Amino acid sequence: MKGVPLKKTARATLAILGTGVLIASLAGCANGSSGASASDPLQFVLSGDGTQGGGYQKMADLYEEQTGVQVEIVDVPGDDLTTRLRNSAQANDLPALAAAANVDPLWKDQILDLSQIAEDQDILPLLAVPDPEDGKVKALPTSLTSVGMFINKSLFDEAGVSYPTDETQSWTWDEFVAKSEEVQAATGAQYGMVMDNSAHRLRSFLYEFGSEGIVDDGGTFTANDETKTALEYFKKLNDDGFMPKSVWTAGEDASATFKSGQVVSYYSGVWQIADFQSNITEFEWASVPTPQQPVKATNYGAASWIVAFDGTGQEEAAQKFIDWLYQPEQYSAYCEIAGCLPAVTGLEMNYPANQDAFALYNAEIAASPAVSSLQTVDQLIGGYEGKFLQSEPLKDETIKYLNDQQSVDETIDNILSTTQAALGE
C-alpha cells in the first residue's frame, strides 16, 4: 500500500505553550561542545523501541555491518525522555541524535538542518515542517501515527455479535456502544471500552462528533457546539461504567487493562500493533473502523521527530546515518519491523502480519477531515518558535469534569480561557 496524501490547514490545535526561562538557561553553553570523538559510537536517544519490535536497534546493527559505524540505541522511558534531553543540553552533553516528542526550546538552536534529507527521501510534505525563522527542516517524522479502535475479537465471536471489518463499513458511537454492551452481557466482560488517558486520543474522539477542537479564530479561541456534545457523551461512558473511570482519573494503564482480556475494546492507535502481536496470546484481537457520529475522523501526524545535534563532533556522521535510515530499503524494513506507517511517500509496504490493520489506518487517515492532521505539526512549529507544551487543558479540565468538580460548560470555558491566556492576542 502506498503512503496516503496528507492535508493542510491553518487552524490551530489546542496546546498550552510557555516560553519560560528555558532559553536563558542554555545561553552559557550554546556554543560549547560535548567533546565526543567522530570515531565514538553515535548515541541515538529515544523511547519505545523495545515495545515496537526493536526496529531502530535492528537498523543500528545493520548500519554497523554495512559501514563499520556503531550507533548506540539508548531507549529510555517515555516520561523520562524530555528531562534526559534537557539535562543533557544543560550539561553540554547532547547525544548525536534523538527521536523526541517535540523540539524543545532548551535545545532548539542546537539542531542541524535536515532539509536535504527530507527532500531526497520524499518525506510526506505535511510532515516536512520548516522552522518559520529560517525555512529549514530540522526534524523528521519517525513514522506516521494515527488513533484507532481495537476489539477483543474472541469476545465478539463468543457473543456472536457482528462488527465492521474494513473501511467500506462503519458504525456510529451509539451502535458501537450497543454492540459492545451486548458482548459484555453475553461474555461477562468487565468493561465495554478503555481509552488511553491522553488528550491526543480525546481530540480524535471530539472530531468524530463534528468538533474541530479548540480553534484559533483570529487570536480568539473558540469551540463549536459539537465539542460540548462529545464531552457529555464521553462523561456518560465513564459514569455508566462502560469505561473504567480510573484510567482517566487515576492514571491506570489502559493497555494493560485491555490485555487482561476483560475489556471489549480499546481506543488507542497504530503503535500498539507490534506490541499486541508479541504480547497478546490469550485472545484474538482485531483493528476495526473507529465509530463516527457522524464524522469519520482520527488524529494523525508524526509519532516523534528525529533530530541531530550540533556541537557534538559527530554532526556529519549523524546526518549520514539519518539519510541512510530514510532510504527506501532501510526505512521500509524499519516500518515492517516496528509495525508503523511510513512517513515518506510512495513506499509499498509488506508487513509480516496484520496487513489489513495497517491498510485500515491508511484508509481512515485518507478519509479524515483536515483538522485531524494538526496536533503534532502545530506543536513542532511552537517548538521551533521557542515555545513548549507545559500542560494540556483539554485533558486536565476533562478530568475535573469526570470527577464532577465542574460542569461541561465550565470545563469548556476553562479550556478556552487557559488557551487564550497563553496563545491569544
How many C-beta neighbours within 10 Å does residue 239 have? 12
Counting residues of the chain whose pLDDT is more than 70, the rounded percentage is 90
- Can you state the percent helix, strand and coil of the chain, rounding each to 5? 45, 15, 40
Which residue type does 282 have? E
| Nearest CA among 229, 213, 242, 251 for reference residue 375 | 213
pTM of the model as a whole: 0.88
Instruction: Give the separation between CA 99 and CA 347, rounded to whole angstroms.
Output: 22
User: What's the rounded Cα separation, in Å, for the pair 418 and 390?
Assistant: 12
pLDDT digits (tens, 9 = 90+) for 75-122: 999 889 999 999 999 999 999 999 999 999 899 999 999 999 999 999
What contacts 390, CB < 8 A, 6 or more positions away? 16, 17, 18, 20
Reported as a single tens digit per residue, the pLDDT across 173-213 is 999 999 999 999 999 999 999 999 999 999 999 999 999 99
Structural domains of the chain ordered from first start: 20-143+303-351 (3.40.190.10), 145-300+392-423 (3.40.190.10)
What gap in Å lies between CA 103 and CA 71, rounded to an integer?
22
pLDDT at 36: 64
**The residue type at 265:** S
Grid coordinates standing for 143?
513514522
Secondary structure of residue 111 in the 3-state scheme: strand
Q: How confident is the model at residue 35 (pLDDT cuts 50, 70, 90)?
A: low
Mean per-residue pLDDT for 316-321? 98
pLDDT of residue 23: 35
Average pLDDT over residues 253-263: 98
Q: Is the pLDDT score of 4 beyond 60?
A: no
